């Protein structure tokens, strides 16, 4: 799973929590989902403002990423642990240190048993040039953190396996497929 950081403005102060339950759910418009346990402090900010950020930390941020998942904004002020910036939505705090930050507006909330699942339309994506190749995010340059749930370990991304929508083509002759 990814290890990512969700940001929200709670009572006028940025708060960040670590998250593994997240992913892309719609291509156009771009919509992502984040699943937050209902007890977490961050929920309040997302509900108040209808905005949040999803930030992808790099491997060298593993300690501060873990820290954000260990302490709650209910008890500890996490507003100054990162350099925060804001985009056009003004209420979604974004993390300057992260290679990729997505600024999101809530379009739907699913209330599940334990989690609030926020569906957020990505209004803007922010990345510095040094993390891009040909204008696109480069996974090796970003060096994101991979989280192995249940055994509770962090890893980096491994070796390149092949090109997507391409490496499977050679099986078409034997296994079939007209497309």
**CA triplet 154, 159, 162: central angle to 5 degrees?**
130
Q: Is 74 in the site for ligand FMN (CB under 6 A)?
A: yes
Our CA dihedral for 104, 106, 107, 110, rounded to 10 degrees, sits at 130
Say whether 79 sits in a helix, a strand or coil: coil
- Find the shortest distance in angstroms from Cβ 73 to ligand FMN: 3
Say whether 3 sits in a helix, a strand or coil: coil
Q: Per the structure block, which two tokens stand in for 108?
A: 């739907």
Q: Is 118 in the site for ligand FMN (CB under 6 A)?
A: no
- Find the shortest distance in angstroms from Cβ 62 to ligand FMN: 10
Q: Per the structure block, which two tokens stand in for 94?
A: 């974004």
- Residue closer to ligand FMN (CB basis): 71 or 125: 71
Q: Which one of 11, 26, 37, 155 is in contact with ligand FMN (CB under 6 A)? A: 37
* Distance between start and end Cα atoms, the chain: 31
Q: Is 105 in the site for ligand FMN (CB under 6 A)?
A: no
Q: Is 82 in the site for ligand FMN (CB under 6 A)?
A: no
Site for ligand FMN in 146-175 (CB under 6 A): 147
Q: Which stretch binds ligand FMN (CB under 6 A): 16-24, 48-56, 99-107, 124-132?
A: 16-24
- In angstroms, rounded to a whole number, what is the distance separating the alpha carbons of residues 62 and 127? 19
Footprint of ligand FMN (CB under 6 A): 3, 15, 17-21, 35-37, 40-42, 66, 69, 71-74, 147
């Amino acid at each position: 799973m990814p290890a990512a950081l969700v940001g929200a403005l709670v009572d006028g102060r940025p708060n960040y929590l670590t998250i593994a339950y997240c992913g892309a759910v719609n291509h156009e418009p771009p919509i992502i989902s984040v699943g937050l346990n209902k007890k977490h402090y961050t929920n309040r900010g997302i509900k108040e403002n209808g905005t949040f950020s999803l930030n992808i930390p790099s491997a060298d941020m593993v300690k501060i990423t873990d820290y954000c998942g260990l302490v709650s904004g209910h008890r500890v002020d996490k507003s100054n642990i990162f350099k925060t910036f804001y985009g056009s939505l003004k209420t979604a705090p974004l993390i300057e240190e992260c290679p990729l930050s997505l600024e999101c507006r809530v379009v739907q909330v699913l209330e599940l048993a334990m989690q609030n699942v926020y569906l957020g339309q990505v209004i803007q994506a922010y990345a510095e040039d040094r993390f891009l190749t040909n204008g696109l995010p480069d996974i090796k340059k970003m060096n994101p953190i991979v989280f192995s749930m249940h055994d509770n370990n962090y890893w980096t991304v491994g070796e390149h396996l092949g090109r997507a929508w391409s490496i499977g083509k050679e099986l078409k002759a034997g296994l079939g497929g007209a497309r």
